[in-house]
Chains A and B, each alone.
Chain A
Amino acid sequence: MANSIRGRAEINADGVTHIRLLINHPMALERRDAGGQVIAAHFIEEIKASHNNEVVFQGLWGQAVSQNPYLSFQLLGAKKGDRVTIGWRDNKGESDNAEVTIS
Protein backbone atom coordinates (compact mmCIF):
# COMPACT_ATOMS: atom_id res chain seq x y z
CA MET A 1 0.00 0.00 0.00
CA ALA A 2 2.22 2.78 -1.28
CA ASN A 3 2.14 6.29 0.14
CA SER A 4 -0.07 5.37 3.05
CA ILE A 5 1.97 7.34 5.58
CA ARG A 6 1.72 11.08 5.99
CA GLY A 7 3.97 12.62 8.62
CA ARG A 8 5.11 15.85 10.20
CA ALA A 9 8.17 16.14 12.45
CA GLU A 10 8.74 19.53 14.07
CA ILE A 11 11.57 20.22 16.50
CA ASN A 12 11.17 22.86 19.18
CA ALA A 13 13.58 25.15 21.01
CA ASP A 14 14.23 22.49 23.69
CA GLY A 15 15.36 19.95 21.10
CA VAL A 16 12.20 17.84 21.39
CA THR A 17 10.71 16.69 18.09
CA HIS A 18 6.94 16.36 17.92
CA ILE A 19 6.08 13.63 15.44
CA ARG A 20 2.57 13.36 14.00
CA LEU A 21 1.56 10.55 11.68
CA LEU A 22 -1.54 9.78 9.70
CA ILE A 23 -1.79 6.38 8.07
CA ASN A 24 -4.27 5.48 5.39
CA HIS A 25 -5.46 1.99 6.39
CA PRO A 26 -8.95 0.46 6.77
CA MET A 27 -8.24 -1.02 10.23
CA ALA A 28 -11.24 -3.22 9.55
CA LEU A 29 -12.86 -5.01 12.46
CA GLU A 30 -13.58 -8.71 12.31
CA ARG A 31 -17.17 -8.98 11.12
CA ARG A 32 -19.73 -11.33 9.56
CA ASP A 33 -21.06 -11.20 6.03
CA ALA A 34 -24.72 -11.61 5.00
CA GLY A 35 -24.40 -15.40 5.18
CA GLY A 36 -22.98 -15.35 8.69
CA GLN A 37 -19.43 -16.16 7.59
CA VAL A 38 -16.67 -14.46 9.52
CA ILE A 39 -14.63 -11.91 7.58
CA ALA A 40 -11.22 -11.64 9.18
CA ALA A 41 -10.09 -8.35 10.63
CA HIS A 42 -7.54 -6.35 8.66
CA PHE A 43 -5.51 -4.02 10.82
CA ILE A 44 -2.00 -2.74 11.48
CA GLU A 45 -0.36 -4.86 14.17
CA GLU A 46 2.94 -3.08 14.48
CA ILE A 47 4.29 0.38 13.76
CA LYS A 48 7.88 1.44 14.30
CA ALA A 49 9.87 4.65 14.15
CA SER A 50 13.63 4.60 13.60
CA HIS A 51 16.23 7.34 13.81
CA ASN A 52 19.99 7.05 13.30
CA ASN A 53 19.90 3.28 12.84
CA GLU A 54 17.93 2.74 16.01
CA VAL A 55 14.31 1.80 16.56
CA VAL A 56 13.20 4.47 19.01
CA PHE A 57 9.47 3.83 19.25
CA GLN A 58 7.22 0.86 18.67
CA GLY A 59 3.44 0.54 18.76
CA LEU A 60 1.56 -2.73 18.91
CA TRP A 61 -2.06 -2.26 17.85
CA GLY A 62 -5.29 -4.22 18.08
CA GLN A 63 -8.53 -3.84 16.15
CA ALA A 64 -9.73 -1.07 18.46
CA VAL A 65 -7.39 1.46 16.91
CA SER A 66 -9.44 3.71 14.63
CA GLN A 67 -9.52 3.59 10.87
CA ASN A 68 -6.94 5.81 9.15
CA PRO A 69 -4.92 5.79 12.35
CA TYR A 70 -3.30 8.88 13.79
CA LEU A 71 -0.28 8.64 16.06
CA SER A 72 1.85 11.24 17.73
CA PHE A 73 4.76 11.05 20.16
CA GLN A 74 7.99 12.88 21.04
CA LEU A 75 11.45 12.11 19.72
CA LEU A 76 14.49 13.15 21.75
CA GLY A 77 18.07 13.80 20.72
CA ALA A 78 17.44 14.57 17.06
CA LYS A 79 18.15 17.69 15.05
CA LYS A 80 16.64 19.64 12.22
CA GLY A 81 17.16 17.97 8.87
CA ASP A 82 17.40 14.47 10.39
CA ARG A 83 15.28 11.75 8.85
CA VAL A 84 12.92 9.51 10.79
CA THR A 85 11.84 6.25 9.20
CA ILE A 86 8.31 5.07 9.86
CA GLY A 87 7.19 1.54 9.00
CA TRP A 88 4.07 -0.50 9.62
CA ARG A 89 3.06 -4.12 9.15
CA ASP A 90 -0.50 -5.45 9.26
CA ASN A 91 -2.00 -8.83 10.12
CA LYS A 92 -2.18 -9.81 6.46
CA GLY A 93 1.53 -9.29 6.00
CA GLU A 94 1.18 -6.02 4.10
CA SER A 95 3.51 -3.21 5.01
CA ASP A 96 4.65 0.25 4.06
CA ASN A 97 7.29 2.70 5.14
CA ALA A 98 8.26 6.29 4.62
CA GLU A 99 10.80 8.87 5.72
CA VAL A 100 9.87 12.08 7.44
CA THR A 101 12.35 14.94 7.65
CA ILE A 102 12.55 16.99 10.82
CA SER A 103 11.86 20.65 10.23
Chain B
Amino acid sequence: MQTHRRSVLRALAGLLFVRLPASLALLAPLRALAAWPKAAFDASSSADVLDQLFKGKTVQSSDAVQLEAPDIAENGSVVPVTVQTSLKGVKTVTVLAEQNPRVLVAQYSLSARSAAPVSFRLRLGKTQDVVAIVETEDGKLHKASKNVKVSLGGCGG
Protein backbone atom coordinates (compact mmCIF):
# COMPACT_ATOMS: atom_id res chain seq x y z
CA MET B 1 0.00 0.00 0.00
CA GLN B 2 2.78 2.36 0.86
CA THR B 3 4.75 1.33 -2.23
CA HIS B 4 1.79 2.13 -4.45
CA ARG B 5 1.34 5.51 -2.85
CA ARG B 6 5.01 6.29 -3.29
CA SER B 7 5.05 5.36 -6.95
CA VAL B 8 1.94 7.44 -7.58
CA LEU B 9 3.60 10.38 -5.87
CA ARG B 10 6.73 9.93 -7.99
CA ALA B 11 4.63 9.88 -11.13
CA LEU B 12 2.85 13.05 -10.11
CA ALA B 13 6.17 14.72 -9.40
CA GLY B 14 6.77 14.74 -13.12
CA LEU B 15 3.83 16.93 -13.91
CA LEU B 16 4.16 20.09 -15.95
CA PHE B 17 4.57 23.23 -13.96
CA VAL B 18 4.81 26.40 -15.97
CA ARG B 19 4.99 29.97 -14.84
CA LEU B 20 3.04 32.28 -17.12
CA PRO B 21 3.88 35.92 -17.86
CA ALA B 22 1.52 38.29 -16.08
CA SER B 23 -0.26 39.40 -19.26
CA LEU B 24 -1.51 35.89 -19.99
CA ALA B 25 -2.68 35.31 -16.48
CA LEU B 26 -6.28 34.97 -15.43
CA LEU B 27 -7.91 34.39 -18.82
CA ALA B 28 -11.12 36.29 -19.47
CA PRO B 29 -14.10 34.80 -17.64
CA LEU B 30 -17.27 34.05 -19.54
CA ARG B 31 -19.41 35.42 -16.78
CA ALA B 32 -18.89 38.28 -14.36
CA LEU B 33 -17.34 37.26 -11.07
CA ALA B 34 -17.90 38.88 -7.70
CA ALA B 35 -15.53 41.66 -6.67
CA TRP B 36 -13.98 41.39 -3.23
CA PRO B 37 -16.78 42.38 -0.84
CA LYS B 38 -14.98 44.59 1.66
CA ALA B 39 -17.99 45.39 3.84
CA ALA B 40 -18.84 41.69 4.18
CA PHE B 41 -15.26 40.78 5.07
CA ASP B 42 -15.11 43.54 7.70
CA ALA B 43 -18.42 42.62 9.33
CA SER B 44 -18.16 41.41 12.92
CA SER B 45 -21.42 39.50 13.23
CA SER B 46 -23.09 36.73 11.25
CA ALA B 47 -26.18 38.89 10.82
CA ASP B 48 -24.14 41.66 9.19
CA VAL B 49 -22.32 39.22 6.90
CA LEU B 50 -25.56 37.61 5.75
CA ASP B 51 -27.09 41.03 5.24
CA GLN B 52 -24.14 42.16 3.11
CA LEU B 53 -23.92 38.98 1.03
CA PHE B 54 -27.49 37.76 0.79
CA LYS B 55 -29.59 40.85 1.54
CA GLY B 56 -31.43 39.32 4.48
CA LYS B 57 -32.67 36.17 2.76
CA THR B 58 -33.56 33.30 5.07
CA VAL B 59 -30.99 30.58 5.58
CA GLN B 60 -32.29 27.06 6.26
CA SER B 61 -30.36 24.31 8.00
CA SER B 62 -30.01 21.40 5.61
CA ASP B 63 -28.85 17.81 5.80
CA ALA B 64 -27.80 18.15 2.19
CA VAL B 65 -24.81 20.24 3.33
CA GLN B 66 -22.03 18.65 5.37
CA LEU B 67 -19.35 20.63 7.11
CA GLU B 68 -16.40 18.50 8.19
CA ALA B 69 -14.10 19.96 10.82
CA PRO B 70 -12.37 18.57 13.89
CA ASP B 71 -14.18 18.51 17.24
CA ILE B 72 -11.04 19.89 18.84
CA ALA B 73 -8.66 21.97 16.76
CA GLU B 74 -5.07 20.82 17.17
CA ASN B 75 -3.99 24.33 16.37
CA GLY B 76 -6.33 27.30 16.01
CA SER B 77 -4.27 28.84 13.19
CA VAL B 78 -4.70 25.86 10.90
CA VAL B 79 -8.13 24.28 11.23
CA PRO B 80 -8.99 22.04 8.27
CA VAL B 81 -12.56 22.24 7.00
CA THR B 82 -14.37 20.60 4.13
CA VAL B 83 -17.75 21.60 2.75
CA GLN B 84 -19.59 18.86 0.92
CA THR B 85 -23.09 18.93 -0.53
CA SER B 86 -25.42 16.73 -2.51
CA LEU B 87 -27.30 19.76 -3.83
CA LYS B 88 -27.23 20.48 -7.55
CA GLY B 89 -26.78 23.87 -9.19
CA VAL B 90 -24.51 25.24 -6.49
CA LYS B 91 -23.63 28.90 -7.03
CA THR B 92 -21.61 29.79 -3.97
CA VAL B 93 -20.21 28.22 -0.82
CA THR B 94 -19.70 30.68 2.03
CA VAL B 95 -17.89 29.92 5.28
CA LEU B 96 -18.33 31.90 8.49
CA ALA B 97 -16.58 31.74 11.87
CA GLU B 98 -19.24 33.13 14.15
CA GLN B 99 -16.97 34.32 16.97
CA ASN B 100 -14.03 35.58 14.94
CA PRO B 101 -13.53 39.38 14.97
CA ARG B 102 -14.22 39.29 11.23
CA VAL B 103 -16.84 36.64 10.78
CA LEU B 104 -16.66 36.01 7.02
CA VAL B 105 -13.81 33.63 6.23
CA ALA B 106 -14.27 32.79 2.56
CA GLN B 107 -16.73 32.69 -0.30
CA TYR B 108 -16.31 30.32 -3.21
CA SER B 109 -18.09 30.67 -6.55
CA LEU B 110 -18.65 27.42 -8.38
CA SER B 111 -19.83 26.85 -11.94
CA ALA B 112 -21.19 24.02 -14.03
CA ARG B 113 -17.59 22.91 -14.34
CA SER B 114 -16.61 22.84 -10.69
CA ALA B 115 -18.01 21.15 -7.62
CA ALA B 116 -17.70 20.47 -3.94
CA PRO B 117 -16.14 19.11 -1.80
CA VAL B 118 -14.20 22.29 -1.19
CA SER B 119 -11.46 22.02 1.45
CA PHE B 120 -9.23 24.62 2.98
CA ARG B 121 -7.78 25.69 6.32
CA LEU B 122 -8.88 28.55 8.47
CA ARG B 123 -7.96 30.43 11.62
CA LEU B 124 -10.24 30.34 14.65
CA GLY B 125 -9.64 32.80 17.47
CA LYS B 126 -11.54 30.72 20.02
CA THR B 127 -14.04 27.91 20.44
CA GLN B 128 -16.98 28.64 18.15
CA ASP B 129 -19.37 27.47 15.49
CA VAL B 130 -18.12 27.32 11.93
CA VAL B 131 -20.97 27.72 9.46
CA ALA B 132 -21.12 26.75 5.79
CA ILE B 133 -23.83 28.24 3.57
CA VAL B 134 -24.50 26.77 0.15
CA GLU B 135 -26.38 29.02 -2.28
CA THR B 136 -28.15 27.22 -5.10
CA GLU B 137 -29.22 28.64 -8.46
CA ASP B 138 -32.85 28.89 -7.32
CA GLY B 139 -31.70 31.49 -4.81
CA LYS B 140 -32.14 29.27 -1.73
CA LEU B 141 -29.61 29.25 1.08
CA HIS B 142 -28.78 25.98 2.87
CA LYS B 143 -26.52 25.78 5.88
CA ALA B 144 -24.67 23.38 8.15
CA SER B 145 -22.58 24.19 11.18
CA LYS B 146 -20.01 22.55 13.40
CA ASN B 147 -18.71 23.57 16.77
CA VAL B 148 -14.93 23.50 16.97
CA LYS B 149 -13.12 23.68 20.30
CA VAL B 150 -9.96 25.77 20.34
CA SER B 151 -7.52 25.95 23.21
CA LEU B 152 -3.82 26.47 23.71
CA GLY B 153 -1.99 23.29 22.95
CA GLY B 154 -0.59 21.08 25.64
CA CYS B 155 2.95 19.74 25.64
CA GLY B 156 3.07 19.35 21.88
CA GLY B 157 2.60 23.04 21.15
The answer to A–B direct touch (Cβ < 8 A) is yes
> What is A's interface to B at a CB cutoff of 8 Å?
2-3, 7-10, 16, 29, 45-46, 48-51, 53-67, 69-78, 83, 85, 87, 95, 97-101, 103
Q: A66-B77, A74-B114 known; A98 and B19 CB under 8 Å? A: yes
Beta-carbon contact of A63 and B102 below 8 Å? yes
Beta-carbon contact of B22 and A60 below 8 Å? no
- What are 9 sample pairs from A and B whose C-beta atoms fall under 8 A apart? A48-B29, A50-B27, A55-B33, A64-B97, A69-B121, A73-B117, A73-B119, A87-B26, A95-B22
Q: A58-B108, A65-B123, A85-B25 known; A73 and B16 CB under 8 Å? A: no
Main secondary structure of the interface of A (DSSP, over half): strand
Q: Which residues of A contact B108 (CB under 8 A)?
A: 57-60, 73
Q: A63-B102, A64-B122, A64-B123 known; A54 and B114 CB under 8 Å? A: no
Question: A89's closest neighbor in chain B, by CB?
Answer: B26
Q: A57-B109, A58-B108, A64-B97 known; A73 and B123 CB under 8 Å? A: no
**A101→B15 CA distance, assembly (Å):** 6
Question: A57's closest neighbor in chain B, by CB?
Answer: B114
Beta-carbon contact of B29 and A55 below 8 Å? yes
**A99→B37 CA distance, assembly (Å):** 27
**A102→B117 CA distance, assembly (Å):** 18
Q: Which residues of A contact B16 (CB under 8 A)?
A: 83, 99-101
Q: A64-B102, A98-B19, A99-B17 known; A69 and B34 CB under 8 Å? A: no
Beta-carbon contact of B117 and A74 below 8 Å? yes
Q: A97-B19, A100-B15 known; A62 and B114 CB under 8 Å? A: no
**B47 at interface by CB-CB < 8 Å:** no
A56, A71, A72, A85: residue with the most chain B Cβ atoms closer than 10 Å: A56
**B111 at interface by CB-CB < 8 Å:** yes
**B64 at interface by CB-CB < 8 Å:** no
Beta-carbon contact of B120 and A72 below 8 Å? yes
CB distance from B13 to the nearest CB of A (A): 10
Q: Which residues of A contact B77 (CB under 8 A)?
A: 66-67
Q: Which residues of A contact B41 (CB under 8 A)?
A: 60, 62-63
CB distance from B58 to the nearest CB of A (A): 23
**A2→B17 CA distance, assembly (Å):** 12
